[in-house]
Amino acid sequence: MASKTINITLKIWRQKNANAKGSMETYKLDNVSTDSSFLEMLDQLNEQLINERQEPIAFDHDCREGICGMCSLYINGEAHGPDRAVTTCQLHMRKFKDGETIYIEPWRAKAFPVIKDLVVDRSAFDRIQQAGGFVSVNTSGRTMDANAIPIAKVDADKAFEAATCIGCGACVATCKNSSAMLFVSAKVSQMALLPQGKVEATQRVLNMVKQMDEEGFGNCTNTGACEVECPKEISLENIARMNREYMKASLKS
């Protein structure tokens, strides 16, 4: 790893709380190692702010290895920044140039209200899951043997790919309509592709879509930006599959 350091200017959204009016603030940060992750750069800025007796910037993060889905950030106009197939915590400063100005904003969507600075409320996603993102099987362990129903590898693999969604909300933040279709369709697809999920498929898709609409997410107009920015590269095919599932379910019910 050829390590070097860069000096950068940051323009960051600051907002005291949900009701306060926010604004973009400017910060200078020197000696940022290009081996640092983007969030380590923010740690460094916060350390600097604390040493200057200023309030550090609030941002969501946890696992820092791209799997928990907690980190967010709209960086230079892109969800999770300029790199592809990564979350913000996996973005590294080697993607930026010395002297560059970097703009950092929170996810912007009606259904994701700002809590503070760069932190937003994504509990709408939880409520969509609660509306139907499950198989109604009790946790007795007394189900059938795991190998009782063979599942074609191609279906299992597709279900897995859909299931790798980390629920970060980049799809919503990226979409000009703030649509949650990629997120919802990933869960609908995972279940629809597996025999275990087929029994409740009709109710599931209707309930999840209903909840999605009630949360204030917009509609899908097939722009495809969500797929480009998705850190897990969830495919648009899932939206097509959900539309088919929804159509089938609407005709049945």
List phi, psi (to 5°) of 29.
-135, 125
Based on the number of CB atoms within 10 Å of its own CB, is 185 exposed (0-12), middle (13-18) or buried (19 or more)? buried
Cβ(172)–Cβ(107) below 8 Å: yes
**Minimum CB distance to other proteins, residue 252 (Å):** 21
**Minimum CB distance to other proteins, residue 140 (Å):** 8
Counted residue by residue, the chain has a size of: 253
Based on the number of CB atoms within 10 Å of its own CB, is 193 exposed (0-12), middle (13-18) or buried (19 or more)? buried
Among 90, 174, 178, 238, binds other proteins (CB under 8 A): 90
> Which is nearer to other proteins, 124 or 251 (by Cβ)?
124
> Which is nearer to other proteins, 163 or 228 (by Cβ)?
163
Secondary structure (3-state) at 240: helix
Concatenate the DSSP letters of all residues of 196-238 into one string: HHHTTHHHHHHHHHHHHHHTT-B---S--HHHHH-TT---THH
Interacting residues with other proteins between 212 and 241 (CB under 8 A): none
Asked if 40 touches other proteins (CB under 8 A), the answer is yes
Interacting residues with other proteins between 139 and 198 (CB under 8 A): 139-147, 150-153, 156-157, 159-160, 163-164, 166-167, 190-191, 194, 196-197
Among 25, 98, 121, 214, binds other proteins (CB under 8 A): 121
The window from 58-66, 96-104, 170-178, 214-222 that contacts other proteins (CB under 8 A) reads 58-66
**Minimum CB distance to other proteins, residue 7 (Å):** 15
